[in-house]
Amino acid sequence: MNTKKKLLLSTLAALVLGLTGCQSSMTVTTDNNQSVVVPKSPSKVVVMNYGALDTLDALGKGSIVAGAPLSVLPSYLQQYKNTTIADTGNMKEPSIDAIKQAKPQLIIIDGRQASRAQELSKIAPVINLSVDAKNYLESTKKHINVLADITGTEKTASNLIQALDVKITHAQTVAQSSSKKAIVTIHNDGKMILINASSSAALIHDVLKVKRAVPFFIQPINNGERPKPTFIDNNYVNNVKPDIIYVVDRSKAIGQAAMKEDFFDAKVLAENKTQVVYLTPDLWYLSGGGAESLDRQIDEVINGLK
């Protein structure tokens, strides 16, 4: 073999090794114990999960976001609107064509898109970062660390988690020193329902230690029928007398008619010394489980105790 040919082969081998290094991958294990091989340090990511989007932003990696559902973008993430980021449909119905055109190397979803995961995986690797309501804080921290491992921002993630831990400890102290007991509710289309077992309730009661006005229990499913909802109204307030009603307004979050200001009788609230705390709808219903969203949610909960 002549010298020129050897040099050419050496050069080609070096190029192949270089490309292989650039395309390194890692295995991610999600909360549902699914292992997914994903690219390390991707340059284009479609994010259908707002908690993941705000975490990438907090990690300083917002520039890798190539697509996201922009039609109902939470107010605290408005910097991603009117940019070169592709609108990849809404959270329940991702636009497969728009996602394909974005040419992502990774797609991040949550439970709302879980039924489309197999279809999306034909475009790029898919990881589901749905928050686990039973282990809310651990799940959120895990997702922060997963995104940090993928993007090579482990030190930033460590600092973020440390700051959140300090804030949570302070919030727990405030909640435990308060005598106030609360319920967590969701408003939808003129009706208010108790959401005692939701991820919002898990954050407020289990993580931040706000006392419950009603005990936690999960109603059993009989004959395949879902348990009947507990509706919250003036009679409920008179009977339970919660000190605080935390409200997540789903209707307002998705652009529909917001909860009416006189939903509760002012006299009933005054007699029972009940305070209604309106949580930011798009933060609590559309997002959550992210580094920035968790930080903001802690503030809203604790401000309600003051």
Architecture of domain 25-130: 3-Layer(aba) Sandwich (3.40)
150-158 contacts: CB < 8 A, separation 24 or more? 150/26, 150/28, 150/38, 150/39, 150/40, 150/41, 150/42, 150/106, 151/41, 151/42, 151/56, 151/59, 151/61, 151/64, 152/40, 152/41, 153/59, 153/60, 153/61, 156/58, 156/59, 156/60, 157/59, 157/291
| Domain residue spans of the chain | 25-130, 158-305
- What one-letter code names the amino acid at 7? L
Please write the tens of the pLDDT for every residue from 25-59: 999 887 667 789 999 999 999 999 999 999 999 99
Q: What is the pLDDT of residue 8?
A: 41
How many Å from the N-terminal Cα to the C-terminal Cα in the chain?
82
The reply to whether domains 25-130 and 158-305 share a CATH topology is: yes
Does the structural domain 158-305 have CATH classification 3.40.50.280?
no
Cα separation, 123 vs 101, whole angstroms: 10
Please write the tens of the pLDDT for every residue from 194-238: 999 999 999 999 999 999 999 987 666 666 677 789 999 999 999
Q: What is the pLDDT of residue 4?
A: 46
Q: What is the pLDDT of residue 224?
A: 65
**Which of the residues in the chain have pLDDT under 70?**
1-23, 31-32, 218-224
Q: What is the pLDDT of residue 124?
A: 97
Residue 302, token pair as written in the block: 């604790």
Give the global pTM. Answer: 0.88
Cα separation, 301 vs 133, whole angstroms: 17
Q: What is the pLDDT of residue 28?
A: 87
